[in-house]
A = this chain, B = another copy of it.
Amino acid sequence: MIRTRVWGENFHDRLNHICQRNYPTGMHNCIADALRSDEIEVSVSIFEDPEHGLSEENLNNTDVLIWWSHSRNEDVPDEVSQRVQRRVLDGMGFIALHSAHLAKPFRNLMGTGCGLTWREANEKERLWVVDPTHPIAEGIGRYFELEEEEMYGEHFDIPAPDELVFISWFEGGEVFRSGCTFKRGRGKIFYFRPGHEMYPTYHDKNVQRVISNAVKWAKPTSNERPNYWANVPPMEPLKKPITVFE
């Protein structure tokens, strides 16, 4: 079983009536319900939980963390963000959804500004599969569509992704690298663009399929271990004497 945790900001889905209508039990629960399966077990956490739901204990028992955030990106304490980042470097999978491109742990794992252009205009988004070999695209055809979404446009200020899985087309004239994988330390990261709170995006079967595929892809190898920084003896006999520098 892959121990998966869906972390939701849970603000819009409590405070905005459109978002509430889309997600009566909260966006995080909609995502969590769609993921549960024979291979995936799911917990949820929200911003208002103690330690923002991201205690050492919670993280240590999480194989893959899914993160949706937006208006509270800056309110996540640095200490909590660093804890998440360390745990990713230690092997935990991390799936950043939509406006989590500006979540502190994501930005710090990328090292870049993670900026982009955006527009809320009920546009059609069409996500094209550009890597059909990728397990994250499993079961998705050549493309899929979302009838109405927020637009995110290039240039998206991220490092070149290790693998580019989806590129979005938007009605208003932009393109966007919508599905990107990264490896950092011992952890795997997937950024997935769709999911503005004003649309019922996480009810979409293709979106659910992609996230579920991503959880399976992002599960840690057993190779994870503390990050290394060590003085080591030679493995082979050296041909020169070792000078001890004073």
Contacts and interface: CB of A to CB of B under 8 A. Distances in A.
A221 to B, nearest CB: 5
A213 to B, nearest CB: 9
A153 B232 CA distance: 9
Identical chains bound together, number: 4
Given A113-B185, A126-B173, A135-B221, A121 B160 contact: no
A200 interface: no
Nearest to A168: B175
13 contacts: A16-B245, A112-B185, A117-B230, A119-B233, A123-B240, A124-B240, A130-B177, A132-B155, A137-B221, A151-B234, A157-B227, A167-B167, A175-B175
Q: Interface size bucket, A side?
A: 35 or more
Interface in A94-110: 108-110
B231 A117 contact: yes
A203 to B, nearest CB: 18
A155 to B, nearest CB: 6
